[in-house]
Structure 1
Amino acid sequence: MAEIAQKNMETMTVELESMFCTKLYTHEEIRRITKKRTDFEYKIHGLNKTLQDFREYIVYEQTLLKDIRLRRDKFRVGEKKDAIEHRIIKRIRELYEMAIQYYPNDFLLFIQFFKFCKRVNYVNTTNNIVTKMIQKHPNEEKVWYVAANWYAYDCNDLDTAREIILKGLSIHKDFKLLYKEGIQMELIFAVGKQEQKSDSMKHESSEETEEELQKKRKLGLDKIKVYLKHAIEHVDNCEFYIEILEMFDKYKFTEEVQQLIIKHLLNKYWSNELVWHKLAVRETKGLHYQTNPTFEYNGQSTKGRLKAAINKYEEGVEKVPSDKKEKMWSFYLDFLLELQHDILGVAHEFKLNMLRKVFEQASNEEFMSENYYIRWLEYATNDEEGLKIAEKGTTAIPRSVFLWKARLQYLIMTENDEEILNTFKKGIEKLKEKALPLWNALIRYHLLKFKNDEIEIVYKKGIREPPEVSESLKCQYLEWLATTKDFRAVREAYYSMANEKPYSKKLHITMSKLEMMELGINVKTLEKVYQLAVEQFGHEDVDVWINYCQFCQDFLKTDLKQHFQRIYEDAIRKLHVSLQDEFINRFNSYTDINCSCLSLPFPSSY
């Protein structure tokens, strides 16, 4: 085995010399390439070789190939491609062939080799690998798809592609992708020109007589019917048939096949909301299918097509079961919402009235999500209508913050204090910990009305609410007191709230800012704020200790070293051991005094 590895290395001599002579690689780089290849050669020819060894060797050669191309562009070197790139490509092919010989059961290896050969245009080798894939891995669904695709679009061999698809479907009867490929292939053939695939397999319709084109279409449609008949027997998937139907939308000559698919959808999947949505969308394109015998269709006008689409949506919301109605209404509403922005030959008033009507219907049936109530509010013509919509929304979705806030704001416009308060109480009862926007809205209303007594009552009630509400209101309350009352009232409220659980770090921060805004700063009362913060949060929060240090730095100029020493000792005693390192680092960085200079005891972990 070593002899084979050595012999293979000798065959690379010309290639390596060419890489050096063209100055693509230096002598040292050539040496590293040689060593790497030697290691790979000994691995793949050794007794303990693995598939991974082959994969790594192939990846290395492919990476080298890309690097050579980049260097050619960079150094503008164009010669000796036969001696370099072509030899590397050939080596990669041989490595794949050798790996497949040893590991024929690895399907992924076949696919990777197939893609490589296709990329470097090894047509004969690609044909061989496709044949081997079918022989070795017939139970892999993807084999049949890859093979059919290769013969149809790369080899321009439609007959072989058809045989492969039919054989593949005889084994994998429910393989949706293969059905789609077969139908797509026949559609392209029937259309007479390539629209979605590569340049191969083109048929210029201009070179065909109308009679020839009609024959091709009939032949293609006949084969499509065979695929559909087979699929209907074995594939139970609504989305699959909708996707197939969409392939035919723009081809009028496929109308018979479209009718066949729609009949199957309505027979088997009539309760699926996607079916009715698809049928409605088709109506807007003039692709009518009569499902309601009482509906008079007029597809000559845009408005007539729109009415036909609306009729399909209305049939859908009536026929689909309850567990699918919300989605059906969503399709209907999305369609009408999008329609508002379309420039169509339909009166804006008609489209808008339809949207409002359907919003009302969906709401009455209780199949409308929060998002649609929000969109409905955008189309309210006045505050009274907006209030009614918001009321419906909060009844249907009582935990919607947006809808309760909208309802309260509409009521605030009426200045009906009793109704505002009643709605506020209902809202906070439903929203609970999410009710902060309602508290803020009510406070703003009283601020605008200059009702200070009412504002204080609201604040005092709000600070008793859950922490998600009360923490913010406590801080706001202090700030409001600072602007409306004597500062003693601020301190009194602060100490009262600060000593009640749950404690609030934000409250201490707010109070410290307010204390520093006073004309004559009271250092003692300010220090009490920082002391209370470290007392309540000093076991779990490094920030409160550093904030205390900053206070000392700014206001306690005398005996600063002693203050820092005291803070350090208290922090080390109170902080959880997991936070002590962070504190020491920040303490040293902030105070610019090393702990050792303070003769401070280090934690036991040091």
Structure 2
Amino acid sequence: MAERVQFNLERMVPALMDLINRGLFTKEEVKKIVEKRKSFESRISRRIPQKIDYLRYIEYEMSLDSLRKLRKARLAGENAKTISESDYAGNKRIFELFKRATNKFKGDVRLWIQYIDFAKKVKANNILSGIFVQAIQFHPTKATLWILAASWEYETNANIGAARGKYILMQRALRINPENKLLWHEYFRLELLYVEKIKIRRRILGIDEKSIEKEEAMEVDEEKTEDDGNVIRLPTITGEMVQDWNNESKERKTVDTLEKSSANALKEGINPILRGLLAKIVYNNAIQAIPNDLEFRAGFVNIYRIFTDVEEGCKHVFDTIMRDMATSPKARAYLAERHLFETTVDNTQTGSEKAEESEESKYISVSDPRFVTAIRACVADFEVAVEELTSPEMWMLYVEFLTNWKETVSEENLKLYLTKLLQKTFKACQKKGLVSEKVYEIWIKQLQSENNNLQAQEVAKKAVKAFPQNANLWTYRIDLAQVEGGKDESQQALYKKALEKNPASYTMWSSYNDWIMRQWELKTFSTEETNQIYTDAGFTITQLLPSVTLSTNDRNKIKDLIMSSHVKWASRASGIEGARATYKSIIKNMYPTFAFFKTCLAIEEEESKEHDTSSEAEQLYDMATRMDGDKEDIYLSYIAYLRSQKKFDKANHIYKKAIKEVPDREKFDVLCSV
């Protein structure tokens, strides 16, 4: 290893001497550079080198070369213009370090990307080509590397050969990774970008269709202009000229015909390449490789919207979605919404700016006159879809569409139109018996927003009857139970039914717990009644939830909520004595978890600010350690508490007891020492 380090250091001598001779660095500075490099070389020459050592070495060399450039810029005279070995030795060394690093860590894609970024930064195009070849050779399934290579080939080497190279790269990438969505989208984007650049050039030269049409219109206007003496008239074509042309040879006529056909072929409206034929072919191949993926196909529409004159291409994508996914509710909803997609693009922006603009303005603005026409077209398509696809999901997507836009628009007539349409849709959906849980939730919220609580109560009754296991629907019904003028059971009776139907629902128990506390605060329930309700709830969750003795996460979460809330309430209602009586009863009868003990200990800790509660706290810890299951957390907390109370002898005693019961003694020792 020492010989290799010495060899590498000796290779640096000519460049270092050049730095001294040109006055860029002093001898002392060069000596420090050598020491620093020797240290780095020793680290990366170890039997098992670390990637961080290579990166630190590279970072040091980059900083050193930046300093060299700054000092050279300050030089005056001929010495500043002279190019010598030290001018390119820095980059050469960095490239060598990257090469050694990637040889050691071939599987690190991020390291390869850093290597590529540096080569791009210093514009080392010849080296960069080889880096891409090596990186792709080691990582043929990494789409990012293929895309970087193709983009660099196209953007940096802007010529026909490079463009062909781009296509070859993308085609090779797709042969290896035919199901990679990112590669298909990038290939598609590059094809459109190539055509877009051609169109821009034609526009600049004035040979695009719009420019020609404008020029022809100007010529017609000129012909209509009266002769005021300032206009030079071109000679008109006479009958004799036409006769002379007819008498010309067949060869001349053939040449003229060929010239005319060539000119026609260059027209954007006729030329299939300029109309996006290649992009369409890429898309067709993509959906064969990855069929029936709506999100994948929608990605092509998003890319289309970055460019100009893409209505025909977007229509092709929409047509294929309808052809292949006509029975998919999500696909039909996407097709219905397409009328609201915004397609206008600012051509002065760059590609990335266009992408951001397109994403921000995905839909037509609600203030745009086109919006009303577009949303009516969407509604018409949705109406057809819900008739053809008799599924709850299709109706749900339609309802969500109407609800979202109703909340978005501010114009009163439009909001009223969407509200009436929503009411009609809810009733039609109910008539067909296709109301889903989500639609019921939206329906109830919609009625509540319109202050139509009586109807909302009736809908909530039907909802829980249709979906008794949905906790959210039960919550809506319970909240609406006390509507003035309505007829329903008491909230307490409804909670009892809801919890019988949903014994393992944390949402339901959380709602019930909040309701109990609210009733006590409102003095609807007395302290004795509240205590009894909490006690009954504790027994209920212990009996109804599966496995009384076996712990489960869902069961524990509900138990912690109710039992901890019971103790907290007891502390508020009856002080520390009431809290202690409550938690002792719970520990004795209801199999609490360690989280419950933490709640009790927190209450004791608060009490300890005024009175000594160490005996109660230790008693709680002792009871907690007798629980089954993983005891690491319990023992760690207990030992930490005893140390905080300066009871080191008892802490050691508990530690000895703990190491006999915890599964991983080494891990426990580490945690204890923290």
Please indicate, yes or no, whether the TM-score normalized by the shorter chain is above 0.5: yes
Q: Give yes or no for the alignment of 1:90 onto 2:92.
A: yes
Alpha-carbon distance between aligned partners in 2 of 1:508 and 1:86, rounded to the nearest angstrom: 71
Alpha-carbon distance between aligned partners in 1 of 2:104 and 2:598, rounded to the nearest angstrom: 66
Q: Could you tell me which residue of structure 2 aligns to residue 291 of structure 1?
A: none
How has the CA–CA distance of structure 1 residues 6 and 510 changed in structure 2, closer, same or farther, with 3 Å as cutoff?
A: closer
Q: Offset of 1:149 from its aligned partner?
A: 1.8
Match of 1:9 among 7, 12, 18: 12
Give 2:540's aligned amino acid: E
Match of 1:310 among 357, 363, 379: 379
In the TM superposition, 1:281-360 aligns within 5 A as: 281-285=337-341, 301-317=370-386, 326=393, 329-330=396-397, 333=400, 336-343=403-410, 347-358=414-425
Alpha-carbon distance between aligned partners in 2 of 1:75 and 1:386, rounded to the nearest angstrom: 78
Match of 1:209 among 203, 207, 210: 207
Match of 1:268 among 324, 338, 354: 324
Q: Could you tell me which residue of structure 2 aligns to residue 191 of structure 1?
A: 196
Q: Could you tell me which residue of structure 2 aligns to residue 568 of structure 1?
A: none
Secondary structure of the 2:624 match is coil
Match of 1:120 among 109, 119, 122: 122
How has the CA–CA distance of structure 1 residues 427 and 86 changed in structure 2, closer, same or farther, with 3 Å as cutoff?
A: same
Q: Offset of 1:166 from its aligned partner?
A: 4.8
**Any conservation in 2 of the 1:339–1:351 contact (CA below 8 Å)?**
yes
Match of 1:388 among 458, 472, 492: 458
How has the CA–CA distance of structure 1 residues 125 and 331 changed in structure 2, closer, same or farther, with 3 Å as cutoff?
A: farther
Residue segments in structure 2 that go unaligned for 5+ positions in a row: 212-265, 344-367, 542-558, 627-632, 658-674
Q: Give yes or no for the alignment of 1:465 onto 2:536.
A: no
How has the CA–CA distance of structure 1 residues 56 and 122 changed in structure 2, closer, same or farther, with 3 Å as cutoff?
A: same
Q: Offset of 1:89 from its aligned partner?
A: 1.0
Q: Give yes or no for the alignment of 1:432 onto 2:498.
A: no
Greater shift, 156-165 or 492-501, is seen at: 492-501
How has the CA–CA distance of structure 1 residues 25 and 277 changed in structure 2, closer, same or farther, with 3 Å as cutoff?
A: farther
In the TM superposition, 1:208-227 aligns within 5 A as: 208-211=206-209, 215=267, 218=271, 219-220=273-274, 221-227=276-282
Greater shift, 472-481 or 156-165, is seen at: 472-481
Q: Offset of 1:420 from its aligned partner?
A: 3.5
How has the CA–CA distance of structure 1 residues 258 and 120 changed in structure 2, closer, same or farther, with 3 Å as cutoff?
A: same
How has the CA–CA distance of structure 1 residues 181 and 456 changed in structure 2, closer, same or farther, with 3 Å as cutoff?
A: closer
CA displacement, residues 495-517 of structure 1 (integer Å, 9 cap, x when unaligned): 8778644477589779989999x
Q: Could you tell me which residue of structure 2 aligns to residue 476 of structure 1?
A: 569
Give 2:562's aligned amino acid: V
Alpha-carbon distance between aligned partners in 1 of 2:85 and 2:156, rounded to the nearest angstrom: 29
How has the CA–CA distance of structure 1 residues 266 and 163 changed in structure 2, closer, same or farther, with 3 Å as cutoff?
A: farther
How has the CA–CA distance of structure 1 residues 420 and 136 changed in structure 2, closer, same or farther, with 3 Å as cutoff?
A: closer
Q: Offset of 1:37 from its aligned partner?
A: 5.2
Match of 2:283 among 220, 228, 241: 228
Give 1:409's aligned amino acid: D
Pairs aligned (count) = 527
Q: Offset of 1:478 from its aligned partner?
A: 7.0
How has the CA–CA distance of structure 1 residues 385 and 286 changed in structure 2, closer, same or farther, with 3 Å as cutoff?
A: same
Q: Give yes or no for the alignment of 1:181 onto 2:255.
A: no
How has the CA–CA distance of structure 1 residues 21 and 76 changed in structure 2, closer, same or farther, with 3 Å as cutoff?
A: closer
Alpha-carbon distance between aligned partners in 1 of 2:635 and 2:562, rounded to the nearest angstrom: 32
Alpha-carbon distance between aligned partners in 2 of 1:365 and 1:143, rounded to the nearest angstrom: 48
**Any conservation in 2 of the 1:283–1:305 contact (CA below 8 Å)?**
yes
CA RMSD of aligned residues (A): 5.5
Q: Could you tell me which residue of structure 2 aligns to residue 540 of structure 1?
A: 624
How has the CA–CA distance of structure 1 residues 124 and 134 changed in structure 2, closer, same or farther, with 3 Å as cutoff?
A: same
Give 2:14's aligned amino acid: T
**Any conservation in 2 of the 1:302–1:344 contact (CA below 8 Å)?**
no
Q: Could you tell me which residue of structure 2 aligns to residue 551 of structure 1?
A: none
Alpha-carbon distance between aligned partners in 2 of 1:14 and 1:119, rounded to the nearest angstrom: 27
Greater shift, 268-277 or 66-75, is seen at: 66-75
Greater shift, 363-372 or 222-231, is seen at: 363-372
Give 1:91's aligned amino acid: R
**Any conservation in 2 of the 1:380–1:386 contact (CA below 8 Å)?**
no
Alpha-carbon distance between aligned partners in 1 of 2:106 and 2:47, rounded to the nearest angstrom: 16
Q: Give yes or no for the alignment of 1:586 onto 2:633.
A: no
**Any conservation in 1 of the 2:563–2:586 contact (CA below 8 Å)?**
no
How has the CA–CA distance of structure 1 residues 601 and 329 changed in structure 2, closer, same or farther, with 3 Å as cutoff?
A: closer
Q: Offset of 1:269 from its aligned partner?
A: 2.4
Greater shift, 122-131 or 264-273, is seen at: 122-131
Report the identity percentage.
Answer: 16
Q: Give yes or no for the alignment of 1:64 onto 2:60.
A: yes
Q: Could you tell me which residue of structure 1 aligns to residue 515 of structure 2?
A: 441
Given the two structures, how large is their TM-score scaled by the length of structure 2? 0.60
How has the CA–CA distance of structure 1 residues 25 and 65 changed in structure 2, closer, same or farther, with 3 Å as cutoff?
A: farther
Alpha-carbon distance between aligned partners in 2 of 1:416 and 1:445, rounded to the nearest angstrom: 21
Given the two structures, how large is their TM-score scaled by the length of structure 1? 0.66
Alpha-carbon distance between aligned partners in 1 of 2:41 and 2:645, rounded to the nearest angstrom: 58
**Any conservation in 2 of the 1:280–1:309 contact (CA below 8 Å)?**
yes
**Any conservation in 2 of the 1:333–1:355 contact (CA below 8 Å)?**
no
Q: Offset of 1:63 from its aligned partner?
A: 0.6
Alpha-carbon distance between aligned partners in 2 of 1:250 and 1:577, rounded to the nearest angstrom: 61
Q: Offset of 1:410 from its aligned partner?
A: 2.2
How has the CA–CA distance of structure 1 residues 140 and 454 changed in structure 2, closer, same or farther, with 3 Å as cutoff?
A: closer
Alpha-carbon distance between aligned partners in 2 of 1:532 and 1:104, rounded to the nearest angstrom: 58
Secondary structure of the 2:267 match is helix
**Any conservation in 1 of the 2:153–2:166 contact (CA below 8 Å)?**
no
In the TM superposition, 1:413-562 aligns within 5 A as: 413-414=483-484, 418-432=489-503, 434=506, 435-438=509-512, 440-441=514-515, 444-445=518-519, 448=522, 452=526, 458=533, 461-462=536-537, 464-466=539-541, 467=559, 468-473=561-566, 476=569, 479-480=572-573, 500-502=589-591, 535=619, 537-540=621-624
Q: Could you tell me which residue of structure 1 aligns to residue 474 of structure 2?
A: 404
**Any conservation in 2 of the 1:462–1:473 contact (CA below 8 Å)?**
no
Q: Could you tell me which residue of structure 2 aligns to residue 562 of structure 1?
A: none
Alpha-carbon distance between aligned partners in 1 of 2:327 and 2:172, rounded to the nearest angstrom: 30
**Any conservation in 1 of the 2:481–2:491 contact (CA below 8 Å)?**
yes
**Any conservation in 1 of the 2:136–2:145 contact (CA below 8 Å)?**
yes
